[in-house]
Structure 1
């Protein structure tokens, strides 16, 4: 491909179509100070010997530290550790402030309550364009199958769930007295996954709006304006990834950035949000067509109570 035609803004969301887990890599520098970064580039390499790899941006402050480190630890985060991911994805602050962590091989700090953890000896470091590819030999590992792993997909945090197709099969086979047929979390999950699978493709087909952009439209339309960090907190998305989404929306003419870094929907953005809301409402009407008005109101009221929405 001709590099002059390579659209780097589109490259990141293209990569985001491949869901990954979320990890934090920790080590210690030559002074014994703890160092850590969030990374989604973790992968397995070999079973014999047991090798894993991850990559770090060469421009990162910690790149040279990890390049020369003799040991490091890969902590696979659980679904409840979004705040840990955001903490170690940041820059400039003391990421270990307030954390009292045990240490593993080589004195590397060990994050707790993770889905899995791999303590490694450095094996090799390879050039990888603007990143360093770091390979480690696993010396010790642990995992907790009671914890669901944190997932990153399409620029947003997610959790692994049963595929809708397998749920449909369960739905077909379920009898009226089956446990799942009367289990609320299962029914909510079935309704949620089915609804999103139908609605999100319509946003793309009609208006070329992604699920991440849709979430920003809904927030800004109701709030009027907000800064990027507040939006990231509300959407539980890393600021660095959300910035690329808002930049793209700005290029499309949907957002404007105030001098104070506050984001606001433009007139074009407000028009688009109304189109999206109309489409969402039409989809909602079709979804609840089998319910009466009173049943629909009661359902929404009950769900709001469960979610703590007043």
Structure 2
């Protein structure tokens, strides 16, 4: 879709097509109390000198603290830190309660379990519309390559995985590598890419619903009432982005508030039935070459893998 109209919600949706990592930026206030906020705006600026940047909303409570801080730390979250991201994205709570951390340069908290951390001295602060752009000089850093980064894409949390190259587009799985062609992770990634490639256009073009909105509708159809915070956890969407998905569904007449909770309207239930029919038809097509007993074995095996307790 091409548009020149700058609708804020639609603009954010367009920006969501660019996947990013997820970070928690930390520092301390004038009293030495730890301060932190979730940000996906982190990016590199320069290798020599080692400079990075991130941006903070001018309406954020901690804006002035970060703008005047001498030191700050960037904690790059790993895939098992969704709860940490949600905690530091919220307001009005003790964000560091039950969070393990050590002190870095200038006392800036270094959170445990992160994929990488950059300890920075503030280089400069620039105006950037409704945000401040904070550039830092990296003085120390560390990283754990054994951890998978937490990603953010299209308004939802995601994880990174190696792309199955051009095999999906070529509609074939063989690479000529005996190990890779029979390696479970490669096969799963290839299958997921193919599955999404065929399903998502059917949802968006056929039902005018994004995959993220589909997830919300599906959750609410099974358990009709949720608070927004609970729904955020189940839908794997940060509160701010979930609110946009919810508002869009309200505009379609699919959702309504009842006693400060969300329920599907009659229109929403009808939409979910349509989405369910599309998903079921797509699954039948994708599994068309399998016998019913093979399909059952496949799903049972995948469930068993998911339930493995590491």
TM interval, shorter chain, is over 0.9
Work out whether 1:62 is the aligned partner of 2:65.
Answer: no
Secondary structure of 2:18's aligned partner: coil
Per the alignment, do residues 307 and 47 of structure 1 end up closer, same or farther by CA in structure 2, a change over 3 Å counting? closer
**Superposition pairs of residues 258-273 of structure 1, within 5 angstroms:** 258=258, 260-273=259-272
Moved segments of 4+, more than 4 Å: 166-170
Per the alignment, do residues 36 and 247 of structure 1 end up closer, same or farther by CA in structure 2, a change over 3 Å counting? same
- Structure 1 residues not aligned, in runs of 5+: none
1:57–1:63 contact (8 Å) kept in structure 2: yes
**Superposition pairs of residues 277-296 of structure 1, within 5 angstroms:** 277-296=276-295
**Superposition pairs of residues 175-190 of structure 1, within 5 angstroms:** 178-190=178-190
CA offsets, 1:141-168, max 9 Å, x none?
1112222211100000011112243454
Corresponding position of 2:173: 171
Secondary structure of 1:226's aligned partner: coil
1:25–1:73 contact (8 Å) kept in structure 2: yes
Query: How far has the Cα of 1:224 moved from its partner?
Result: 2.3
Corresponding position of 1:78: 78
Query: How far has the Cα of 1:198 moved from its partner?
Result: 1.1
Per the alignment, do residues 81 and 167 of structure 1 end up closer, same or farther by CA in structure 2, a change over 3 Å counting? farther
TM-score norm. by structure 1 comes to: 0.92
Distance across 2 between alignment mates of 1:95 and 1:59 = 18
Corresponding position of 2:109: 109
Query: How far has the Cα of 1:87 moved from its partner?
Result: 1.1
Secondary structure of 1:242's aligned partner: helix
1:164–1:194 contact (8 Å) kept in structure 2: no
The count of corresponding residues between Structure 1 and Structure 2 is 303
Query: How far has the Cα of 1:305 moved from its partner?
Result: 3.1
2:100–2:111 contact (8 Å) kept in structure 1: no
1:25–1:75 contact (8 Å) kept in structure 2: yes
Corresponding position of 2:27: 27
Per the alignment, do residues 213 and 100 of structure 1 end up closer, same or farther by CA in structure 2, a change over 3 Å counting? closer
Distance across 1 between alignment mates of 2:215 and 2:72 = 36
Query: How far has the Cα of 1:185 moved from its partner?
Result: 3.1
Work out whether 1:50 is the aligned partner of 2:58.
Answer: no
Secondary structure of 2:86's aligned partner: helix
2:102–2:109 contact (8 Å) kept in structure 1: yes
Distance across 2 between alignment mates of 1:185 and 1:135 = 38
2:125–2:132 contact (8 Å) kept in structure 1: yes
- Structure 2 residues not aligned, in runs of 5+: none
Query: How far has the Cα of 1:39 moved from its partner?
Result: 0.3
**Superposition pairs of residues 127-276 of structure 1, within 5 angstroms:** 127-166=127-166, 168=168, 171-174=173-176, 178-258=178-258, 260-276=259-275
Secondary structure of 2:109's aligned partner: coil
